[in-house]
Amino acid sequence: MARKTKSIYAGPQDEKIVISLRDVSKTYSKEAPAVSHANLEVREGEFVFVTGETGSGKSTLMKMLIRELKPSSGEVYVLGYDLNRIRHGKIPQFRRNIGVVFQDFRLLWDRNVFDNVAFAQHIIQVPGRKDIQKNVLFALDLVGLNDKYRRRTNELSGGEQQRVAIARAIVNKPYLLIADEPTGNLDADTAWDVMQCFDRINREFGTTILIVTHDRGIVSRMGRRVIEMKKGEIISDTGSDADFSDGYAEENYQDVDADYNDVYAGGDPYRYDEEDDGY
């Protein structure tokens, strides 16, 4: 089913803008603004870190991107939606295109791995049981957990739990994946493994990824675009990362018409090409 989103951006199709913030501020009650005059553009296929110390406004920024919060002033566009004008009833449809990963995992602890990931498919009402199985196992394969699909999530290690959360966030094939401190509760080695999952998803499918983290070690090791916040302001931005120009994104979207509208109708960046393997 084709979605009705129209790009508000002029310019070349291979430079689709996924996120655009224009002079965005957010003030909670009477305090100093949590986010102040932020400007930001993120193009399709980019991998972006947002860093900054506690209280610098990272989570507030992220919540405005998924329309959990509205800005006090300024404009927020995500995937072609104008989030100041989006009607309330359209918000679920908008959010369907975004996968979100939280620091505290937010899993269903009394269910197994498969059910946790399948849950996201039920929310968007994927009808066929076979399709759900295929999609869930594909997502679990991507994060390296397909051999553990029957395990209860409360029996897994922290790193495995976070990978279940990532599988759940990608199973609906979002264009944009947003994570707020996804490695905040993990030790350094496990955090690195989880980061490699994000890296792989970005490189293989061209999924645009924005990760909030204050882990400077990981950020510098990854070598991707970094936006730094301080006291609500974006104080530095390394700019688009080199990976954007190496063709991964275009390659994987090539049989998708160069327009968001047709992606669900015409192609699927997370295609699962193998035969149904009988789960």
Where does this chain bind Mg ion (CB under 5 A)? 58-59
At 50 the three-state DSSP class reads strand
CB of 1: closest distance to ligand ADP in angstroms? 35
Strands 225-230 and 47-51: parallel
**Residue the block writes with tokens 């990854």:** 222
CA-only gyration radius of the chain, Å: 18
CB of 50: closest distance to ligand ADP in angstroms? 8
The contact mask relative to ligand ADP for 144-173 (x = CB under 6 A, - = no) is ------------------------------
At 219, give phi and psi (nearest 5°): -60, -45
**Residue the block writes with tokens 């860093």:** 51
Name which of residues 9 to 68 contact ligand ADP (CB under 6 A). 28, 34, 52, 54-60
CB of 265: closest distance to Mg ion in angstroms? 37
Buried b (16+ CB within 10 A) or exposed e, 28-57: eeeeebbbbebebbbbbbbbbbbbbeeebb
Q: What does 57 interact with, of Mg ion, ligand ADP, none (CB < 5 to 8 A by kind)?
A: ligand ADP
Q: What does 125 interact with, of ligand ADP, Mg ion, none (CB < 5 to 8 A by kind)?
A: none
Q: What does 28 interact with, of ligand ADP, Mg ion, none (CB < 5 to 8 A by kind)?
A: ligand ADP
Q: What does 55 interact with, of ligand ADP, Mg ion, none (CB < 5 to 8 A by kind)?
A: ligand ADP
Q: What does 202 interact with, of ligand ADP, Mg ion, none (CB < 5 to 8 A by kind)?
A: none
**Residue the block writes with tokens 């009833």:** 89
What secondary structure does DSSP assign to 99-146, as a single string?
A: EEEETT----TTSBHHHHHHHHHHHTT---HHHHHHHHHHHHHHTT-G
CB of 59: closest distance to ligand ADP in angstroms? 3
CB of 142: closest distance to Mg ion in angstroms? 26
Q: Which residues bind ligand ADP (CB under 6 A)?
A: 28, 34, 52, 54-60
